[in-house]
Amino acid sequence: MGAASWEVRRLAERTPPSRERFVDLLRAVSIVAVVLGHWLATVVGYNEHGELTGRSALPDLPWAQPLTWVVQVMPVFFFVGGYANAVSLAAERRRGGNAAEWLIRRSGRLVPPTTALVLVMGGGALAAGLFDADPARVRTVVWLASIPLWFLVAYLMVVVLTPPMHALHRRYGLAVAPVLVGLVAAGDVARLLGHDFWGNGNFLFGWLAVHQMGFAWRDGLLARPRVAVPLLLGGVGALLLLTLAGPYPISMINVPGERLHNMSPPSLALLAVATAQIGAALLLRDRGERWLRHTRRWTAVVAVNSAIMTIFLWHVSAAILLVAALHVAGVLPTPEAGSAAWLAWRLPLLALFTVVLAPLVAIFGPIETRGSRRLGIPVPAGLTRMAARRVVRLWLALAGFAGVAFALLANSLWPSTAPTVSGMPAVALITYLACAAILRLLRSTPPATEAEPRHQ
């Protein structure tokens, strides 16, 4: 841990003055908010057979549903992702790289920590099987631990489409996002008419629309406050209209039994929330930049971002481990959702969840750090890639990303009767490991470079 702390401090101290620190703060806040939301809004109890159960507390807490307009900050992550991806793609091109090289580099941040989770889930399930654990229960635990992977599927799709979507942005600017919003509206209409299948495109169009706004922020098209205030007020106004007068539910987190969900897939109401949040972020940007000039604050943000994927991927596993330990010890609290006892237990449980998550981040965080480009270190001027092998590498990178996304999605959607390996669908596990290996091989075998005169 001492070496890791020293590395974080070094990266914080070497941050270039030109870096948009507020972007890193928003990324950290958005993921931490998701983690805390999952921990706070979960109800754990026992069914009539004495078996552990878990569910969302939102159906029992109607007063809390408007709060999701603030705490549902996943749109902020995609907005920041658009900004960061535009920056890194431009840096790759300055080095003489292309879309394939950029995707391969990006996979180094996303795939290794995910592979660690997949392998540990598989190993844990295999060990449970050796002790004659109930296969159905093992499959349930594996499914719960893999819940964070749904988000990664959506983000992987957005990352793969970043080069062509950024090209569209450079040509058409802010005109691209309204087209994507129109596609989301069409998907919502289909869902309202009972044709849910045609609304699945919103998983892509909705997040792409938010991601596209990150490109606009990077290029200075979202000037403040000329754009920020209308975005904030327009987003709030549209949200009130869509939820109070329109057919959309109030909660921005899926509530069982609702006719239409706002989150899975993203709806117009969620895009209204995203619009308001983007406006608020832009208004807070200058103040946030000044606040982050304090060394300790910035170092804390760097520390969180250095293991941001690890924190997100393992926070559900931490909750499972804690609940299992309390259950075995016979001290698991199971008050009724919304009761005074349930509310009183929120802060102690948050502290306990954090204690369990901390060693998981200490163990698996270095995997993410080693796989990513170091934060704050300027990209060296470099060598120009040869045209040879670029097409092959691009298609291999796309195939790797597509296979990883398919495997992660299949792990959640595959029928429970499908053949499994260590508690996971066999097809999904084999596909994931094969495609992760392809991306790892691509990262370890850079393309040939052209000879260049030495830079003076």
Cα 298 to Cα 2: distance, rounded to the nearest angstrom = 18
Does residue 381 have a pLDDT over 60? no
Cα 294 to Cα 90: distance, rounded to the nearest angstrom = 28
**Which of 45-54, 286-295, 319-328, 368-377 bottoms out in mean pLDDT, i.e. has the lowest?**
368-377
Helix (H, G, I), strand (E, B) or coil at 134: coil
- pLDDT value of position 288: 93
Cα 216 to Cα 46: distance, rounded to the nearest angstrom = 49
Cβ–Cβ under 8 Å, residues 242 and 44:
no
Cβ–Cβ under 8 Å, residues 442 and 104:
yes
**Which of 70-74, 101-105, 227-231, 336-340 bottoms out in mean pLDDT, i.e. has the lowest?**
101-105
Domain tally, the chain: 1
- pLDDT value of position 376: 35
Does residue 411 have a pLDDT over 80? no
Q: How confident is the model at residue 424 (pLDDT cuts 50, 70, 90)?
A: low
Torsion of CA 201, 202, 207, 208, to 10 degrees: 50
Does residue 152 have a pLDDT over 90? no
* Range 48-62 average pLDDT: 85
- pLDDT value of position 193: 92
A 10 A CB-CB count for 48 gives 5
Tell me the longest C-alpha to C-alpha distance in the chain: 76
Helix (H, G, I), strand (E, B) or coil at 53: strand
Q: pTM value?
A: 0.84
**Which of 26-40, 136-150, 353-367, 385-399 bottoms out in mean pLDDT, i.e. has the lowest?**
385-399
Cβ–Cβ under 8 Å, residues 42 and 225:
no
Residue 268 lies in a domain: yes
**Which of 4-18, 79-93, 239-253, 425-439 bottoms out in mean pLDDT, i.e. has the lowest?**
425-439
Cα 314 to Cα 362: distance, rounded to the nearest angstrom = 11
136-143 long-range contacts, CB within 8 A, separation 24+ = 136/416, 138/423, 139/416, 139/420, 139/423, 141/320, 141/423, 142/411, 142/422, 142/423, 142/424, 143/411, 143/412
Does residue 268 have a pLDDT over 70? yes
Residue 144 lies in a domain: yes
Does residue 391 have a pLDDT over 60? no
Residue 454 lies in a domain: no
**Which of 17-31, 80-94, 306-320, 420-434 bottoms out in mean pLDDT, i.e. has the lowest?**
420-434
- pLDDT value of position 52: 84
Residue 456 lies in a domain: no
Q: Across all residues in the chain, what is the average pLDDT?
A: 83
Cα 430 to Cα 34: distance, rounded to the nearest angstrom = 29
* pLDDT tens digits, 335-347: 888 899 999 999 9
Closest CA to 304 of 377, 379, 357, 351: 357
Residue 128 lies in a domain: yes
* Range 107-117 average pLDDT: 84
* Range 388-400 average pLDDT: 58
Q: Which domain holds residue 398?
A: 1-449
A 10 A CB-CB count for 340 gives 9
Residue 6 lies in a domain: yes
Residue 431 lies in a domain: yes
Residue 68 lies in a domain: yes
- pLDDT value of position 456: 37
Cα 93 to Cα 163: distance, rounded to the nearest angstrom = 11
